Structures are given as C-alpha cells and as structure tokens.
Structure 1
Amino acid sequence: MSPTARRRRIPRRAVVTLALLLSVGVVVTGLVQAPPPPSPPPAPARDSLGPRLAAVMGKPAYRHAQWGLFQQNPRTGKVVRSRFADQFFIPGSTAKLFSVSGAWHTLGGNHRFDTPVYAVGRRRQATLRGDLVLVAQGDLTLGGRTRRNGTVAYTPIDHTYANDVPGATLTPENPLAGLDQLARQVRAAGIRRVDGDVVVDARLFRPDPDLDPTPTPLIVNDNVIDLLTSPGRAAGSPAALEVRPKVAPYRVTSSVRTVAAGKPTAIAVRTSPDGTRIELSGTIAAGSAPVLRISPVKDPDAFGRTALIEALRRAGVQVTANAVAPRPAARLPRSYRGLPAVARYTSPPYREYAKLILKVSHNLGANLGMCLMATTTGSTDCEDGFPVLAAFLDAAKVDRKAVQLADGRGGNPADRTTPRALAQILTYWQRTGEARNFREALPVLGVDGTLADSCRHCPSRGKVFAKTGTAVGGDTLNDRLAVGAETVAGYLETGKGRYDVFFTGVNGAATPTAAIQGVLTIADDVADTAALLQQKSGG
C-alpha cells in the first residue's frame, strides 16, 4: 500500500492525555566530586550495574518505578550494559529522535524552505491591481530565529514552555524578520501600492488537531505572543510589560503589580475566545528577573496576513485592503504557473531546524515534521507522514514493532519505545555522513539545550550528547506529581572520536509534592546515571 493510500483511522485522542508533557533541563550536582550517600546494598539483579548506578536506581523514591538501561558500541555491536532493553517505556521527548530523524532523512539536511510571494493581477507602473499571495511552505521560523551567520537561535528553556517551566527566555532575534524581508523585496520589485488584497495560501497541508500543538503551513513566532513582565522600581508600582510581536488586532493589558523582594511572583494570563484580547494579572517581586508568559495565536493564517500587511506598510508599500480581516482564501489562484514571484524568503538548512527541535525539545517543530513528510508524497493529510516514517525506520534497521508513535513530539499517551530501538536509530546516524551533525544537534551535558544546567563542573561535561524526555501528570489522589517518564538517550564519548549509544530512564516515579522541584530531582538522578555511564566507559 502506498504512503498516500487511504488507511483505517485510529483515533489518536481515544485515551485521556497526560496533564503535562515537558522536556526540561536538569541540574546535576555532586557527580564524582563527593561519594554517594549511604544506601542499602543493591539488589542482586543490579550488582552488574556497579554500586553507584545501583544506589541511584535503588532509592526509596523508585520503589514502584522501573528503570531501563542500555549501552552499546555501535561499531562492534557489543552490548556494554542492559536492563529491560526490550521492554516498552514511555519515552517522553526522546521520541523526537525518531520523528526528527525521519524528517531529516526525507527532506535532507540541506533542504531549505523557499516561501514565495506572487503578484496576481496587472501591474501599472508601481501599482499592482490585484493581490499579493504568500504561499506558505511549512517554514518553522520564517526568519524569526535566524542569526546573521545563518544559524538558528535557541535558549536552554524555550519561550514555548514559558507557561509551564520556570526560567523560559527569549532569543534576541526579531520574530517578524522574515516578513519584513519579504516586504522589502516587494518594494524592491517596484511595487508601491496594492489595489487588492494580501492572501496567505495555506494549502500545503491541513492542520491536524490530533497533533498537539497543531502545525500550520504558516508559522510566525511559533504561533504565540510573547509577554515579558519586569518588576517596577518599588513595591506597589505597576510592572513593566514587553509584548512581541506586536500585530493587530491583538491587544494586551496588564494589572500585574510589583511586590516586595522575596514575596511570591505569580502571573496569570487570560485570553478572549478568539485570542486577540490578552489580560495579565498577578504579582512580581521587586528586583527579580523578568518573567515570560505566552498566549496562543488562534488563527495563524489571519495573523500572518495582518503581519505581512503591516510589514509592507513599514517598507513603504501601501495596501488598500483592511489589515484586520479573515483570510480571503476564495481569492487564491488554482496555479502559480506564469505568475511573477516578487519576493522569496529562503530558510536555513533543515539540519538547523532539527537542531532547534532537539536542543530545546520543540514540540511544534517535531509535529510539523510529520506533516512535511506527508507532503513529500503529494498528500495534504499529516497522518500520511507516518507511513513515510515507518519506511525510513525499516530502512534504518530500527525494529519498528518496538516503537509506538501517534505524534511527532512524544506527547501522545500511546507513545512507547524500547531502549534498544532508541539505540538503533542512534546507531543508524553513526553510520552516515551526517553523524557529527546529528550528534551535535542533541543537547550537550553541561553545555547547551535542555542539558545546559547539568553537570557543569563534573568530568562528563561536554561528553554526553543526548535527547531528554519528561512526561508528568497530576496525581490528585495523593496531591503530588506522577512522573510517567524521565528519560535520556544519545551518545557517550568513550574515547577520541568514539561514541557508544545509550538510553537510561525511569517510568512510574512520583514526587513527594505537587512542586516542580520534585520532577527536577528525578531528572537529576537520570542525568546522574548518564554521567556515570560515561565515566565508567573511560571517555
């Protein structure tokens, strides 16, 4: 059956979703510098792990949990360590190793997204009597994160996690940079006035609500509005607010007040049903760091259309159409054959987007990969990306029956994988010309991405390249957080130019309370095991 053939649909929302699924950085302390705390002798089944690994896995907190472990030399196939290597685990965002690999292979690491703007109508000197049409190509950032050197910017905790994870920050790049560049090109093409409309052609694929967050063909600033609150000079004063990007008709008001230093910071965001009216309330402590929140863009196509019209006006191109209006999809041409492209934005290569997705665990980008794989078959149905991914995994010699995926991010309750299957996809890349690019696209322990704050001063710093994953839900019965998964998978440096593939992680753990710090403690333990594996391997 071809990838685009009709298949029996299995509802991917047929089960209750986890309350929260995040990929966060972990903080590792005390690796090697100090001996482990006293602990009971490890159980016989764990003797082969060594006392320090067994001590971590044998903590009372994991009484009802299950640890998995796998380490293998990808050149020789020798298994160094193994624990439940062929049993299903909830992967969290380590599942992105499969989806990003599939998109990387299918599109190619050098693939660039060319987003054109066509002039549809008649030109009379500097006036276009007709429409400008932007044809969305599934560009993840549309210039909004691109540095001057062509790389894509990211921070350890991405702004898309701002409402869930403390410490999320913004990159300095202008999120409207790509639209501004397109607008300047339109003016450079000689157009000063558009007597018509500006239209977004989003027919590349149909947004699939079963993919959460839902990818769209046109994405501006990850389809969110950034809301950065800074404390005032003194307690009782209004907090300062920075909003980006500023696009009509989105309007933001804030009643956040500054409270005394040391007092709680708590900021809530409320939005109108259409998302265009945003209200912030709460408190921020004097002298504290700015606090980031986000609000979703409910209609990315209308948002992008307005943003492009505003960019055109900034560039000196007059548009007679109302900037705030529904997307006029009925005005789209059937074909662009013979029509002039008056502007074109070209993205960085896909491997740069893959790096962004893997470094910060970018959920929208991972799900987008499924839709982009579908488009390579001529389909506009994102679900048709799954057969493409399946064919790739077969060719990469990954045991596909040891992988269950219903999305690209690792956020569906059905998602499962075995440690060995993760090792197989990691081994595949080690045998390609992209081995170094893929390895360095992963978070690096103590250096960057979701592992930036881990193991900064231990011997394993810079020697573990790995994707993190976290699945967390609320345990209302016991007033605590249930950690469905805390996992990490990637490469351990075992010598100069030599790397073992590995997985380590725990399923079914729980925190003592409902505080996020309990999750970070479990993440510490998982990162400890990765660092200890690397140190035991002699790298």
Structure 2
Amino acid sequence: MKFQKLTAVARTVGCLILFSGFPLGLKAVCAEAQLVISPQSILSGKQQSATNICPAQLPEAIDAIVDRPEYQRLHWGILIQTLSPPRTLYSRNAQQYFTPASNAKLFTTAAALLQLGSDFRIRTSVYGKDGIVRLVGRGDPSLTDAQLRDLAQQLRRQGIRQIQQLIVQDGYFQALSLNPTWEWEDLYADYGAPVNSLILNQNVVKLQLSPQEIGQPVKITWNDPFAVGQWQIENQTLTVASGTKSDFEVNGILGKSSLQIRGQMAIDSPPEELSIPVRDPGEQILQHFKLALNQEGISVAESQIINNAEKTNEPELAFVESPPLLQLIADTNQPSNNLYAEVLLRTLGVRNSTILNQDTVTLGLNIIKTTLANLGVDRESFILVDGSGLSRRNLVSPTSLVQTLQAISQSPQAETFRTSLPVAGVSGTLQNRFKNTPALGIVYAKTGTLTGVVTLSGYVDAPNYERLVFSIMVNKSNQSAQVIRQSIDEIVLLLTGLSRCK
C-alpha cells in the first residue's frame, strides 16, 4: 500500500542526516573564540562545543543551505524567533501561504486544548428503557472492542438479558465523514479513514497476505469477519521464488467499493498485514456491539442505525470514556494521526453549536480561527479546510505557525502542549531523526509531509542560548522528502548551536 511503503521509507532513512552541502569554512565569531563550523562537528555529539554560531551569522548559514542550486525551483518559507520576548532571528517568505501538511494539526490541537482543557474526555453512552437500547457515540477515536465489551458487561450486571430493539445513533457529528477536498486516493488508505460519531478501532481493519505455491496469487484474509462484505478485492498478486523482495500496492477503483491489490510475495516470506479503512463504520460498530452483547449472554431481536443528533430522555445505563484530552493531543501529534485531529475539530464544532444540525466541521474551523485570533494570531495568516492537514486547500504561513506556538507557550497549557509534540531522536515522527546529534532531546516539533511538501515547526531548547520557536516549510518540491528533510534538519541543527556572542 502506498502509505505503508512511504512510512517504511521514512523509518529507514529518517535518521540519516547528510551535510554534503554545508557551507564549509563559515566563520562564527563568538565570545569564547573564533570557531570554524564544519559538518563533521555538527554530526558529532561529542564535539557539541565546536558547533557554536552567533545569531548574526545565522542568516548567512541558513541562506547557504536554502540557496543550493538543486533547490532553485522550491518554495521555502522560514521564520525563527526567540520565545520570550519574540525577536526574529531569520525570516524568508514568512508571510506567504504554504500547504502545511500535518503542521495544520498544531492549530487544531492548540485550539482544542485551550477550549476544552486537558482533562476533557469523550463519553460513549448506552441509554435504554422498555426493551429499547441506544448506543450513542460522541466521536471517541480511542474506542476499541474492549470498550464495547465493557459496555455489554455493564448492561449484564444490571440484569439485562434481552434487547428488543438496538439503536446505534451515529449523528453526534453533523458533517461528512470524508472531507470532499481530500484526494480520492487518500480515501482508500488507512490515513484517510472516515470520521464519524461512533469510531471503532480507528475505523480500519487488517488484511493478512500470505504466500501460496509459486505462480499462485497471494492468499488474502480479513482479520475481521464483519469487514468481508465492505470491500470487493481484486487480487492481482503473485507468489514468487524465494529471495525475491515482497512488494504490494493497494489502489481504490473510483466509483466502486473495490480495492485492487497488486504485488508479489516470496514463497518463504512471513505473512504481512495491510491496514484498510472501513467503508461503512456505522454498520461495523453495530455488528461488533451485537457480538459483544452476545458474548455476555444478551440477545438482540432487532437493530438499526440512525444518523440524527436527537437527544434521548432514556436513562443512561452504561458508559465508557476516552483518555483525557492531554493524552488525545499527544496521540494526535506524536504519530500524526489524521483521525484524531479530525475528531478534535468536530468536537470543537459540536461543543459550540447552538442550532441543531449545524455543520460540525465549519463550526470547528471557525472556533479554531477565533480561539487563536483572540491570542494574537493574525486571522488572515492561515486558512484551514480540515483539522489534519491532509487537504491541499489548507493555506498557512510560517508566521501563523510561529504565532500559534508563541501564543500557547504563554498559556497555562504550555507544557502540556509542548510535550505532546514529537521529540528529536526520542519519540513520535521524530524518533528516527536527529539521533547522535546535538538536537537529541531538545527539539520538540511537528512534522508534515505530502507529495512535494515537507514541513517542520516547533521549539528548540538551545543549550547555550534560549528557547526558540521556528517554522520551516517547503512547497513545490521536485526533490524527495528524504532530501528535503536532510536540509531542514541542517537548519535545525544550526539553531541548537546558537550561542550568545559579543
């Protein structure tokens, strides 16, 4: 599958930081001594003291990276400031719009944290009376089969053994489950899973691929029997000889509920799994909840799915809750989870709706803009159409990202937000970047990648300077994401070496 192949590449090469184009011989006149910066000194953590650079020399050093001949057609946007008080150290196209990719999650998670608070939880409830039981979801993205079993057990402890009518109410979010501005191929990938009010197992299922005899198609098995009817599989795979590289690609067929799986698998290869989005999440959770009830000895005579947001007067019989928002924020930013970000966007919308059936996404986007504008972020500096950054219609300036990072750093939620971000060489999407460099453990930043787009925005705790806020955005790239990341990382490493100079 295309997404999984890209992920595998990122994990493999993300920690290889090359500096072949670093400006050798750049002079840095600092208080202690006159130093010559070299790529070798930056790569070696043991030589961290030799990486010092004065703020006055920073623009020349960054320009030498950005202005390389191979980057002449790329569009760079950069803003680097001190945290408090804000003081600009470097700026390039900082006011211009860029496609942010997953850097858009910084707006969503910051607004959610400020509006909802770190202790906010998403509640999934079961209401019931006179043989009617109603499962009502409110968009908990962490809901799994274990929580459904918990709900069934709560009902059993109350003596319920029969349900005349089971209603799954999936209308808390009044919005399309798939953003119409996403590219159609995203809708067939696990990172483009539908977003609804009752989410189970992040609305993805697994396909297991196993070799058969040479010349035979690869065996494809669903790990979830209820998912079998949701997709038709066109198996265009082949089992091949031992020692051959296994490689797969999953493509959706436009206008059909069909998936085309192409590729090959060596006969001695272990089974592999592919993640596939659920096509009908309402039906999926209905079937799983009925199974959980059956396992607890509770029979169901009739069942249905409804998509309205009507409130019920029936008493609450059971409930489960998500982890607190501080964990949901981390689960959004650390692995860059699109589903979680879209849920937070919709939660902001529905929590601030005043009229029944208002579009939840539109409301959420308005709340993000208003929340951040009230903190001093320029309203005209960013335009969002989703909460995750998967849409290419998002338009964001480096200034807006830095202003957002500056603003939340002055709030009571500052530390919660900062620790939700990936840490260089340690966690999340930065786990395999900056290893064995001075940036290890002192850069907290959100990554972003789409075809032709690479971004990184966050904080640097420069050991010999002060905390910095930065946003680096590259659009219209004809280079691989790997190559662009290497140059972005060079810039970030310059920031870790900043030192106060006379």
> TM-score band (shorter)?
0.7 to 0.9
- Cα distance, 1:349 vs. partner? 0.6
Within the candidate set 435, 458, 475, 1:490 is matched to 458
Within the candidate set 379, 387, 390, 1:408 is matched to 387
State the match for 1:267 in structure 2.
248
Within the candidate set 124, 141, 145, 1:115 is matched to 124
Within the candidate set 307, 312, 327, 1:336 is matched to 312
Q: Check whether the contact 1:73–1:79 (CA below 8 A) recurs between aligned residues.
A: yes
- The runs of 5 or more residues in structure 2 that have no matched partner are 27-55, 183-191
State the match for 1:348 in structure 2.
323
Q: Check whether the contact 2:208–2:271 (CA below 8 A) recurs between aligned residues.
A: yes
For residue 467 of structure 1, give the secondary structure of its aligned residue in structure 2.
Answer: strand
What CA RMSD, in Å, does the superposition of the two structures yield over aligned residues? 3.5
State the match for 2:335 in structure 1.
360
Summarize the Cα distance change of 1:285–1:492 in structure 2 as closer, same or farther, 3 Å threshold: farther
For residue 492 of structure 1, give the secondary structure of its aligned residue in structure 2.
Answer: strand
State the match for 2:396 in structure 1.
417
Summarize the Cα distance change of 1:41–1:235 in structure 2 as closer, same or farther, 3 Å threshold: farther
The 2-side partners of 1:404 and 1:328 are apart by 35
The 1-side partners of 2:106 and 2:169 are apart by 31
Q: Check whether the contact 2:141–2:199 (CA below 8 A) recurs between aligned residues.
A: yes
Is 1:504–2:472 an aligned residue pair? yes
The 1-side partners of 2:75 and 2:475 are apart by 5
TM-score, normalisation: structure 2: 0.79
Describe how 1:164-179 pairs up with structure 2 within 5 A: 176-179=145-148
| 1:486 maps to amino acid | V
For residue 319 of structure 1, give the secondary structure of its aligned residue in structure 2.
Answer: strand
- State the identity %: 28
Q: Check whether the contact 1:193–1:318 (CA below 8 A) recurs between aligned residues.
A: yes
- Cα distance, 1:226 vs. partner? 1.8
| 1:522 maps to amino acid | I
- Cα distance, 1:509 vs. partner? 1.5
The 1-side partners of 2:135 and 2:255 are apart by 23
State the match for 2:185 in structure 1.
none
State the match for 1:106 in structure 2.
115
- Cα distance, 1:422 vs. partner? 0.7
Q: Check whether the contact 1:28–1:528 (CA below 8 A) recurs between aligned residues.
A: no
| 2:492 maps to amino acid | A
- Cα distance, 1:99 vs. partner? 1.6
Question: Once structures 1 and 2 are overlaid, which stretch shifts more, 397-406 or 250-259?
Answer: 250-259
| 2:201 maps to amino acid | N
The 1-side partners of 2:20 and 2:59 are apart by 12
Q: Check whether the contact 1:271–1:295 (CA below 8 A) recurs between aligned residues.
A: no
Q: Check whether the contact 1:248–1:306 (CA below 8 A) recurs between aligned residues.
A: no
Is 1:224–2:204 an aligned residue pair? yes
Q: Check whether the contact 2:230–2:279 (CA below 8 A) recurs between aligned residues.
A: no
Q: Check whether the contact 2:78–2:398 (CA below 8 A) recurs between aligned residues.
A: yes
Within the candidate set 165, 168, 190, 1:200 is matched to 168
Q: Check whether the contact 2:170–2:305 (CA below 8 A) recurs between aligned residues.
A: no
- Cα distance, 1:504 vs. partner? 1.5
Describe how 1:314-329 pairs up with structure 2 within 5 A: 314-321=295-302, 327-329=304-306
State the match for 2:180 in structure 1.
210
Q: Check whether the contact 1:258–1:286 (CA below 8 A) recurs between aligned residues.
A: yes
Q: Say how many residue pairs are matched.
A: 448
1:174-197 deviations in whole A, cap 9, x for unaligned? xx2221211121112211222x22
1:78-100 deviations in whole A, cap 9, x for unaligned? 22222222222221111111122
State the match for 2:489 in structure 1.
527
State the match for 1:479 in structure 2.
none
Question: Once structures 1 and 2 are overlaid, which stretch shifts more, 56-65 or 248-257?
Answer: 248-257
Summarize the Cα distance change of 1:329–1:274 in structure 2 as closer, same or farther, 3 Å threshold: farther
| 2:435 maps to amino acid | R
State the match for 2:277 in structure 1.
296
Q: Check whether the contact 2:464–2:498 (CA below 8 A) recurs between aligned residues.
A: no
| 1:180 maps to amino acid | R
Within the candidate set 342, 351, 376, 1:397 is matched to 376
Is 1:139–2:140 an aligned residue pair? yes
Summarize the Cα distance change of 1:288–1:428 in structure 2 as closer, same or farther, 3 Å threshold: farther
Describe how 1:421-436 pairs up with structure 2 within 5 A: 421-436=400-415
Q: Check whether the contact 1:487–1:504 (CA below 8 A) recurs between aligned residues.
A: yes
1:344-369 deviations in whole A, cap 9, x for unaligned? 11110112111111112222222222
The 1-side partners of 2:309 and 2:368 are apart by 32
Question: Once structures 1 and 2 are overlaid, which stretch shifts more, 287-296 or 390-399?
Answer: 287-296
The 2-side partners of 1:396 and 1:320 are apart by 53
Q: Check whether the contact 2:408–2:414 (CA below 8 A) recurs between aligned residues.
A: yes
Q: Report the structure, 1 or 2, having the larger helix content.
A: 2
The 1-side partners of 2:23 and 2:493 are apart by 20
The 2-side partners of 1:75 and 1:53 are apart by 22
State the match for 1:60 in structure 2.
69
- Cα distance, 1:413 vs. partner? 3.1
Summarize the Cα distance change of 1:334–1:37 in structure 2 as closer, same or farther, 3 Å threshold: closer
1:486-516 deviations in whole A, cap 9, x for unaligned? 11000101239952111112222103xxxxx
For residue 334 of structure 2, give the secondary structure of its aligned residue in structure 1.
Answer: helix
- Cα distance, 1:249 vs. partner? 5.4
The 2-side partners of 1:115 and 1:489 are apart by 34
State the match for 1:188 in structure 2.
157
- The runs of 5 or more residues in structure 1 that have no matched partner are 1-18, 122-129, 145-175, 473-482, 512-517
- Cα distance, 1:343 vs. partner? 1.5
| 2:180 maps to amino acid | D
The 2-side partners of 1:258 and 1:534 are apart by 49
Summarize the Cα distance change of 1:99–1:211 in structure 2 as closer, same or farther, 3 Å threshold: farther
State the match for 2:53 in structure 1.
none
The 1-side partners of 2:220 and 2:435 are apart by 33
| 2:135 maps to amino acid | L
Q: Check whether the contact 1:119–1:132 (CA below 8 A) recurs between aligned residues.
A: yes
Summarize the Cα distance change of 1:76–1:334 in structure 2 as closer, same or farther, 3 Å threshold: closer
The 1-side partners of 2:341 and 2:80 are apart by 26
1:421-473 deviations in whole A, cap 9, x for unaligned? 1111111221122222211111111112111211222121111111111231x
Summarize the Cα distance change of 1:275–1:199 in structure 2 as closer, same or farther, 3 Å threshold: farther
